[in-house]
Chains A and B, each alone.
Chain A
Amino acid sequence: MPLKLERIKEGQRVIHGAFPRYAEYNCAMKYMAEHGFHNVKFVMPPPLTKRTEEIGARYSPDYVCTPFKTLLGSLIEALEAGADTLVMVHGYCRLGYYGELMEQILRDQGYEFDFINLSEYDTWKKRDWLKVIRRIDPKLNIPKFVQAARETIRMMEHLDEVTSDYYQICGFDATGGEVRRAYRRFLAALYTADSGEDIEGAYKRVKQDFQTIPLNKPDRPLQVGILGEFYTVMDAFSNLHLEQKLADMGVEVHRWMNMTHHLLHYGEVKNLAPKIRDQCEYTMGPTSTANIWYAKACAEHGYDGLIHVKSANCTPEIDIMPVLQNISADYKIPTLYLTYDSQTSDVGLMTRLEAFYDMIETRKRALS
């Protein structure tokens, strides 16, 4: 949205803020930044490319997990695009330490910027985030902020729901591309949304499109469940468009892990742990409970295969692999384990996916 500059008072600085690219969620961050605060202009980092990965990897320690490298590359591209304030989130696992090391690396490279590292605000108390908000905008208009937050959450929920629908149907598009075009239009509308109505309108339109575009879908198509590490499993660039590739082979692709489920509404599904008591007694890592539960649920639903996605050196996802292997054996569901780093090639991935596809397809025919 064009920043309403007239509302910024004399002498008050406009913050050109950025957050690294994360799947398609940057539209929501932009909306929140520009509608929740009166003094922020969101600088959209360019879409992730090989270059992003390369510059990120160049300045990163060798065996840090891959999202660190990609996010660092994206921050550098945000600075190049004119950002003067960078935000890094706090989180479980190594994510909580990303910010400090990234800031050090960027300062060593000579960049000048303001850095808002949410780890610095973490005291395990519920109201920590208030301090961050006050730092950004001391004259915050609270009702406006709350309204923007509500709309941003709706945007993320719509995005996740539509994305999930999309990968389940786009492999069966009978029109040769209408489904894909409708999804692209929806994304474009979210990136340019300027009001709650814009968001709801885009959502209604794409839902309608998905209902009316003719599909050529068998009663029981091949179904594959995707699970894994928080960043790589959601970010299409990082997982080399895994879901699109599968869909293009004619697979109905399912993925539970997204912001809506794991961040916005995780409280409602906290009862997942008892469902996997046979597999593990304790929480094994930040996303372990959800991933183990989902693998089991897909197996129980009779899906044809599972794909476990993680970045290289991702400790918690490495550690749940023995559990996934047991689920795979117990329920006789083929599981493909994919590890991504900046060297992972499209061709290599395609070869493994094709082999996996052939296997589950042959199996399905033999079983039916």
Chain B
Amino acid sequence: MDTTRFSGRTQGGPSHVLNRRQLLGGIAGLGAVAAAAGHVRTAEASAVRTRARVVIVGAGAAGIAAANRLTRLLDGASITLIDARREHWYQPGFTLVATGVWPQHKLVDDNARYIPAGVNWIQSMVAEYDPDANRVVTDDGQIVDYDYLVIATGLALDYDQIEGMSTALIGQHGIASVYASPQATSLSWQVFREFAERGGTGVFTRPPGAIKCAGAPVKTALLTEHRLRQRGGRDRARLHYTIPATGMFSQPDIDRFLKTEFPRRGIEVEQHHRLLRIDAPRREATFATPDGERTLAYDVIHVVPTMSAPASLAASPLPWQEGEHAIGHWLEVDMYTLQHRRYPNIFGTGDINGVPMGKTAASVKAQVPVAVANLTAMIADREMTMAYDGYTSCPLITEVGRAILVEFDYEAKMVPSFPFIDPYTEHWVPWVMKDRFLQAAYNAMLRGRV
């Protein structure tokens, strides 16, 4: 695939129009909703009768979706969900709030609305995993025994790995970060809004290793550049996008597109830059580069931390012990069945999984039916037949009002849900999907319906 297949639509930006690929066309009213439903496998067999004790750790996107599906698939099982967090954060909306598209209140929901009746919700955090004894221990000392365990803890944001950085700084000294929390996204928009009017130097970082929604740092940079154009600060702004190696995106076609799009829009891509330190009062960021340390002065910095397994899981016997996924202490699951490779009564789903692809809500949508169906098969003493193909998706917003709907699998092959939505062209329809429909699709996923 060559980059010229991408549409480089340029209203307001530096002019340079790449060849456009003619789209195939189609009506999108229902299609948009359907695409939002995305890659769905509802392989719900008739419920399996069992008295098994199933414990799910984490009541985020994956944990709640798993609880809903298991409730329908298992008849008579005791299902326990463990998570202290009562609020449900719609994280795919974080980027929209941080760039002034949405208000903050759209991000926060109530977990209780989605947890099915009959599920025992323990509002604590798991502090210890003992897979040899089939039990977990919570931070308030409860011992919870299980026959089967589903791990859906999401991941930890390692802001403390950046010297001088803490989440308390977000919104101050020109520091923004869309990852930390709904409130941090609002504070980030305050920082970006001021920047869009005044201009200055903006530094947008991307850490090494696996991160959730790898498109979010890219979208934040592109949308901020668009906001600068809209609010008059573009001529006075200089933008840097720092990446730890040479790649900007794991899907090669999109990687090539971004390597053209960023320079076209005047965003300097700084390769081999890893953020080491922030001097907040002086507004300086120091990076490790192959030529030694480099310090950049900034007016605004978008900080994206490295990410890893939550501490209690990292300290347990459950993470990968070697290989690329050992670095982040990611859960050692088979990349297809999502079953733990050493403890067969444990399954993983969501961001915590040490698999080559898939730290998105879209992946959760594809992973949960697989993990749940395979767990059910195991309980029923049947063969596990479901396999996760690495499906992940990112509505890559390039400007307010347009996006590219990128969907791909383990082989980095584009797997568009709907052939009439071209994964190589910026369109309004994917933007509308992101803005209006994906939250509905996400909620349907939480309820285990897609």
Is the pairing of A and B real? no
A interface residues with partner B (beta carbon < 8 Å):
none
